[in-house]
Structure 1
């Protein structure tokens, strides 16, 4: 059997890239795998990987000062270019199953299915119209004129991909529920939870007594960072610090961060490249990780923090809630609720012994999300999705 995986990103780059790389390795154990990805450099792999370049129109748009805020258009142009390249390749490259990332694979699905292949849609976020709704609500809250929503054309393509797909694969039960609420049958949506390298992410001794709250990720509307900032300042914990690791994606959030850093000396921003730097240097000096997302397919950084022995606070609309047990290895709070975040931060700051015990429980949880368990789930999905 021949499988083709398509993704308009680099394998192993960022949270989504890691999920895609893991999926590629898993699929390569099931059949003859070929990967089509973006970029010009061929990554090292035990299976064929073909980089298909970049969209020049998208790159030119992002390089133009007056147009670079049109991230929605840049993403659409990039995905359209990639999808066309994949479709051309599939006219001469046969496959029995194509697995493509949501929003990037409408034409690829058409071509592959016309030649008899089955199609799996790999959705790394929640149901995209749900995601769009959350982003729009945040832009209204931020009074942000920046166009950071998804293009209507992308949503149309996604709708067609869902219709074409024989199976939809998501990262969490949280994400699956957004599809079910949209009217999809439960059996059409499979959950493939990610895992991380617990040898690379591991507990280290904290060397100071600062109660340090950690956020890691791009500062974008759906990640909900303003709610964490508000919750942290409301908690007003003595000898505390909020460390934000990541850059901003919109003008309004950049202004928000500049004001926040100017007004609060105990809120800091750092930039780390975890693909090359030792992640324990950041996680090891922290007390808790908070992921205040209003939408997140999973939020791999939560599992990374748990592997490093940190309790985590995530929202009920964050896929990582799948692995969080309230009061045992972390807390699940409602989205857009700074008061709930403040309450949990205060509890963790006031109860060090409990916090340490929760961190140990978090490590155990991360250790249970193994590559073997991932492969077993993928095997089951493979059997189910192909009717064996």
Structure 2
């Protein structure tokens, strides 16, 4: 026997909820909560699932803090696991419905002539399209974007009089584009299409022109926006806008001992990561009983660089989920970025008790106290990089002390501090 459809609106909503079970994904329950007590909507573009990386953990930390204060409208992401996030299912919103999202992902994953950068832009565009047409945004006083890629949604917020913020996880797109073009010419390789895609750059420009406030974590980042026409009053330098889960990365129980001196780099390697400079410096050193370990995926151009420049003492592992094992075996970590704002791996290494060597074009270099927990050098100075690596091998006792200092420094960048600083900046802003 079929249940009769109720006549009232409230009854109809309840009937639809029971019959379909879809309302939580389309934000109906979240909207009800938001209208009575919550004010901030958090938007990210990472899957909030168990084992997710640094950006996901940072987003969850912010959302949890807002939820504790009774101010969270919801958190928007491509997909989310309530148990992994630690928030009520009603506050997790995925545009479109996760089933539709999976179908779209499957279609886009079919073999095609589309480049990775084009597929990435299509995913961002679809996410932005559905979010901008959802009802959840209009019940917010503030939208906090943790990914600068959604111009339609930023435009929707602007027209609705909703204050919008973005935690800028990238340098200005024109800065990145120009640096990639320089790197291509220098190393004679292709790559970095995600940074030079004209349509994506246009979308990012439109996004940054729509949001009210841009939060950055370094003077390098702030200057990149000011130099490309963003009003000074719209860009705020916020200290400690980096986040690390200290529980996920800890120093090994016993100090690293071994005959091999290991230099480690971990990233999704593309031209922006400065791998050519690291390989050049490593080739100059010709160290005995030493190994350079490169962990992570590689663009074709980086594979070409390795084939041309990497000496036999270089080991390439490819992508792995067990990054902690490599941190435990390393003596020093190097981030030779040509232009990189938030390489989480630097903080992961520091939290693991490893001294770090980072370029001055790495936004997170602000976390490094030169000579105390690591070294900072000019990004294109291979001689300086080689000198710091050699010093680390020649001074194992001092290096171990630097590792302890790195761990202590990393404590300042735990997720709770990150969430507190970010929310305070929003609360203290005029208007």
TM-score, length of structure 2 as denominator length = 0.80
Matching of residue 73 in structure 1 with residue 121 in structure 2: no
Would you say 1:270 and 2:270 are equivalent positions?
no
2:60 aligned with 1:21 = yes
Deviates more, 1:345-354 or 1:251-260: 251-260
State yes or no: 1:170 paired with 2:213: no
Report runs of 4+ in structure 1 exceeding 6 Å deviation.
55-58
Which of 405, 410, 431 aligns to 1:366? It is 410
Distance change >3 Å, CA 268–CA 145, structure 1 → 2:
closer
Q: What SS is found at the alignment partner of 1:353?
A: helix
Task: Tell me, in whole angstroms, the C-alpha distance in 1 between the residues paired with 2:136 and 2:355.
Answer: 49
What is the match of residue 158 of structure 1? 204
Are residues 100 and 375 of structure 1, via their aligned partners in 2, closer, same or farther at CA, if it must alter by over 3 Å? closer
- Please tell me whether residue 10 in structure 1 is matched to residue 47 in structure 2: yes
Instruction: Report the CA distance shift for 1:85/1:55 in structure 2 as closer, same or farther (over 3 A).
Output: farther
Q: How does 1:1-388 map to 2 (within 5 A)?
A: 1-11=38-48, 13-30=52-69, 31-39=71-79, 44-47=85-88, 48-52=91-95, 53=98, 54=101, 60=107, 63-65=110-112, 67-68=113-114, 70-90=115-135, 94-146=139-191, 147-190=193-236, 191=238, 193-204=241-252, 205-249=255-299, 251-259=300-308, 264-271=311-318, 273-274=320-321, 277=322, 279-385=323-429, 387=431
Q: Which runs of 5+ in 2 are unaligned?
A: 1-37
SS of the residue corresponding to residue 329 of structure 2 reads coil
RMSD, aligned α-carbons: 2.5
Residues 102 and 161, structure 1, Cα contact 8 Å, conserved in 2: no
CA contact (8 A) 1:289 1:311 kept: yes
Distance 1:172 1:10, change over 3 A: farther
Larger Rg: 2
Question: 312-321 or 377-386: which moved more?
Answer: 377-386
1-side partners of 2:398 and 2:425: how far apart? 38
Contact kept? 2:75, 2:92, Cα under 8 Å: yes
**SS of structure 1 residue aligned to 2:46:** coil
| Whole-angstrom CA distance in 1 between matches of 2:217 and 2:67 | 19
Q: How many pairs are equivalent?
A: 379
Partner SS state of residue 189, structure 2: coil
Give unpaired runs (5+ residues) of structure 1: none
1:308-335 Cα distance to aligned partner (Å, 9 max, x none): 1111011111011111111111111111
Deviation at 1:162, TM superposition (A): 1.8
TM-score of the superposed pair, with normalisation by structure 1: 0.88
Q: What displacement does 1:11 show?
A: 2.9
More moved, 286-295 vs 15-24: 15-24
Cα deviation 1:19-66 (Å, max 9, x = unaligned): 33333334434512312211486654315112235486776555335x
SS in 1 for 2:384: helix
